[in-house]
Structure 1
Amino acid sequence: MQKALAAGTAGSGIPGEDSEAVVSQSLEEYMPGVDLETVEKFLEEMDRDIKAYMPELDLKEMVYKLARGELGISAVEIMKGLIKYLFKELVANSRLLGQLLILAVLCAILQNVQSAFEQGTVGKIAWFVCFLVLLSLALGSFTIALQTGRQAIEDMVAFMNAMLPVLITLLTAMGNVTSAALFHPLTIVVLSTISTLVKNVVFPLIFFAVVLGLANNITSRVEVSRLASLLKEWSVGLLGLFFTVFIGFMMVQGIAGAVADGIAMRTAKFGIGVFVPVVGKLFSDALEAVVGTSLLLKNAVGLVGILAVFFICAFPVLKIVSIMIIYKTAAAVIQPIGDKLIADSLNVMGNSLTIVFAAVTAVGIMFFFVIAIVVGAGDFSLMLR
């Protein structure tokens, strides 16, 4: 407590090297008490996967830099890494584009020479087999994109399960007991529930919509285009509903807890300073120093968490976007030279991947808001004091 008081007293002096030294000293005292092992392990594993495209993520070093007002990561470097990764995925998926174009040209040739076969039956069968091979190839890559989105959501949930306890611990150290009690059980439950619903309800609806759209293109005897459109609308509607409910829930929870904590801490500080003789003011100032250091550490850890969520979400999203670009490009090139059904089928899958992209991005934004609201709850309660 005395160390915290000394830090708070020194921090109130002239800003400069002395204040930076006080900040570093305060962080050195408090960092060992914060369990960052799980978060660091997660970041190390993630960093191994993307180290060729993103800067190294050292949690403790980033926290120290952020506490001193330094970001420690170049935005230009991040953008270069993202563009480099997108280009790498486009090159990797160029093989798929070539296969789709070759099969489309083969289908066009078979369609044009159908009259050379007796009654055209053999030609129709050959065209149909080639068409099914093309759809199977495209559907396989679509399934990979869907699985990529599913894995991205699971990774974000795993990271938040490691990050939230750290933020809530720091929130408690600031005296925000009510906010911590509200956030800890409810937020994790709501996050897991909505993520599970997106993976197990929204994604299957998108997949079934694609299958029905392809089936509608294969045969004209059964019209299921309306049903496919309905499933797409349901998936988009459910995604919007989940997002709205979650953001509303978090906003109400964060504001209510912050107001209660702000009033309680202001009352406690006033009571200690006034009613406890001699040492009351000393303890009140020491409490303020502890809260200030916890606030600094919480904001730094929160910003690191936001950056990590961005990285976890960005790379799978870019992979999905690369496959979507391949589908759209193939559909645009095939339409003038091949069968309209092939172009329409590829366009259906490309449009459906847009919804997958939106779903993963929406979940990433929800996790971003979770960290921002938890961090903001502490700042708001401090303002009310």
Structure 2
Amino acid sequence: MEKGWKPIIEQADLSALDQRWNELKGLYAPFMPSKMNLDVTQFDLSSFFSIDHWLSMIKSYFFFEVKESAESLALIFLLAIIASVLKTVGQALETQTVTRTAEAAVLIPIFILTMSTFRMAVESVSAAVEQMTVFMMAFMPILIALLTISGAVASAALFPPLLLFMMNASGLLIDQIILPCLIFSVVFSLVGLLSDHYKADRLASLLRTISVSLLSAFMAVFLAVLTMRGMTAAAADGLTVKTAKFITGTFVPVVGRMMADAADTASGAALLIHNTAGAAGIGLLLLTALFPVLKLMVLVLLYKAAAAALQPLGDSAAASLLDVIGKTLSFMLASLALVSFMYFLFMAAVVSAGNAAYMMR
């Protein structure tokens, strides 16, 4: 088998894997264990997929994000307490105009601080989706080429048009529709908090619902198309290869059976390389999504906790603002998780397509 896979892996361009791995190490090296490594050419993925390494990485980055966000959130919490106290004092003294002005003056710096965090979260989601899309576009051609060599020709023919449409559509959906809807939902919620006359809470809720509903519908269509067409292609691949082997072994004199066995060995070697490269690609895809997801999880937990802690102080606009930001961040987290899961399923489908065709023979 080694003689079969060595020429294939020497000519296979796996630079997309190395490039993405080096980019991730450049961004998150302080949180990665020193022994964590990725070596596809030697079929050594044990260090990369070590559970201990991943748990250590998750723990390090999680507490780093907590520490990074705690300072700004503590300042926001202090300002929110001041705003709540001012409102309580104003209600006791029955000076509504002065109280409203003082509360608005405190809410403005709170809004600036929360918007800074919100902007970083939006940029993190947008960058993560872009990085995953670029990686998929760079890595999929070689993975599909290995799929073709392994004998899954029909499956390989299925994926390129589906890939181009789904990858570009998902990126555009996030950047052009989902994130703008969530941003405007925060703006409309803020208008309702700062003004007693103009309320747009329901419009903000509608925008959040639309964003997640669109993404969920897109994912449902994607799963339906991928499942139905993938099953058909696998059956066609298995039948085609089995027929070709039978014709070669039966009608080609003397060397027919030998040629069929050699072709079968080469396709098996290509499938081995395809599976190894695919597993590495899935791991890098998960690693790309992991850090932004952890960042959003920390922000959601902190903002929700701050809003809950402020609730006993009374009905304040600051607590409502923190709750709105936490709710919107949770929608962003769900959107990023759905897109990451869709990309993961797509790459897993490409990897499993070769195995399905091989089992059909």
TM-score by length of 2: 0.93
Distance 1:291 1:380 in 2: 13
Aligned CA distance change for structure 1 residues 72 and 332 (closer, same or farther; 3 Å): closer
Tell me the residue number matched to 2:293. 317
CA contact (8 A) 1:213 1:224 kept: yes
Tell me the residue number matched to 1:53. 31
| One of 1, 9, 20 as aligned partner of 1:42 | 20
Please state if 1:369 is matched with 2:348: no
Tell me the residue number matched to 2:169. 193
Deviation at 1:334, TM superposition (A): 1.8
CA contact (8 A) 2:188 2:200 kept: yes
Within 5 A, what are the aligned runs for 1:21-170?
22=2, 25-55=3-33, 56-60=36-40, 64-66=43-45, 70=46, 73-114=49-90, 121-170=97-146
Distance 2:335 2:96 in 1: 45
Please state if 1:359 is matched with 2:335: yes
Distance 1:327 1:72 in 2: 33
Distance 1:177 1:250 in 2: 16
- Look up the equivalent residue of 1:169 and give its one-letter code: A
Aligned CA distance change for structure 1 residues 39 and 73 (closer, same or farther; 3 Å): closer
- Look up the equivalent residue of 1:65 and give its one-letter code: D
Tell me the residue number matched to 2:245. 269
Distance 2:32 2:4 in 1: 30
Distance 1:142 1:125 in 2: 25
SS in 2 for 1:222: coil
Tell me the residue number matched to 1:11. none
Distance 1:118 1:223 in 2: 24
Deviation at 1:327, TM superposition (A): 0.9
Distance 1:215 1:120 in 2: 19
| One of 314, 323, 337 as aligned partner of 2:313 | 337
Distance 2:116 2:353 in 1: 45
Distance 1:308 1:179 in 2: 23
* CA shift digits 1:111-136 (9 cap, x unpaired): 34448999564443222111122122
SS in 2 for 1:65: coil
Distance 1:255 1:57 in 2: 35
Distance 1:49 1:140 in 2: 21
CA contact (8 A) 1:262 1:384 kept: yes
* CA shift digits 1:131-150 (9 cap, x unpaired): 12212211221121111111
| One of 203, 210, 219 as aligned partner of 2:186 | 210
* CA shift digits 1:50-105 (9 cap, x unpaired): 222234442425x5125xxx565310220121011011001000011111112112
Deviation at 1:174, TM superposition (A): 1.1
Deviation at 1:216, TM superposition (A): 1.6
Within 5 A, what are the aligned runs for 1:195-344?
195-337=171-313, 339-344=315-320
Distance 1:375 1:102 in 2: 52
Distance 2:13 2:182 in 1: 40
SS in 2 for 1:52: helix
Deviation at 1:188, TM superposition (A): 2.3
Aligned CA distance change for structure 1 residues 154 and 361 (closer, same or farther; 3 Å): same
CA contact (8 A) 2:5 2:266 kept: no
Which shows bigger deviation, 46-55 or 369-378?
Answer: 46-55
- Look up the equivalent residue of 1:172 and give its one-letter code: T
Tell me the residue number matched to 1:10. none
CA contact (8 A) 2:4 2:266 kept: no
Gap runs ≥5 in structure 1: 1-6, 8-21
Deviation at 1:38, TM superposition (A): 2.7
Deviation at 1:40, TM superposition (A): 1.2
Deviation at 1:299, TM superposition (A): 0.7
Distance 2:91 2:26 in 1: 57
CA contact (8 A) 2:17 2:280 kept: no
* CA shift digits 1:239-258 (9 cap, x unpaired): 11011011112222322222
Distance 1:118 1:363 in 2: 51
